[in-house]
């Protein structure tokens, strides 16, 4: 499993990795992975103290916001890139 997780932040089928483990073991694996950011560790800890439905809704909203932000950053970089360089 560690090899699958060291793919770091690339697109990984997390469901196939974490579902068989269960929540506690999956959290332990994520926290032990050196590629896991401090912010993610903190978020996992905070989410463990709230209703799981609320935690999931918040996480899904954050994913959508991150996608919008990334798209805007990408579009801005295209607008400011020297012509003929991309």
Question: At which residue do the structure tokens 């003929």 appear?
Answer: 84
Q: How confident is the model at residue 2 (pLDDT cuts 50, 70, 90)?
A: very low
> How far apart are the C-alpha atoms of 66 and 64, rounded to whole Å?
5
Q: H-type helices in the chain, by residue range?
A: 2-5, 14-18, 23-32, 38-47, 52-80
Q: Which residue has the higher pLDDT, 3 or 59?
A: 59
pTM above 0.75?
A: no
The model's pLDDT over 42-79, given as tens digits with 9 standing for 90+, comes to 999 999 999 999 999 999 999 999 999 999 999 999 88
- Rounded to 10 deg, the angle between the 38-47 and 23-32 helix axes is 160
> What phi and psi values does residue 25 have, to the nearest 5 degrees?
-70, -40
* Mean pLDDT over each residue of the chain, to the nearest integer: 86
């Amino acid at each position: 499993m560690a090899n699958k997780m060291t793919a770091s932040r690339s697109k990984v089928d997390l469901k196939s990795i974490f579902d068989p483990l269960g929540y506690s073991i999956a959290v332990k694996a994520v926290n032990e992975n050196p590629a896991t950011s401090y912010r993610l560790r903190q978020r996992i800890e905070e989410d463990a103290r709230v209703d799981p439905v609320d935690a999931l809704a918040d996480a899904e909203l954050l994913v959508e916001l991150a996608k919008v932000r990334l798209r805007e950053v990408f579009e801005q970089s295209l607008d400011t890139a020297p012509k003929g360089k991309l």
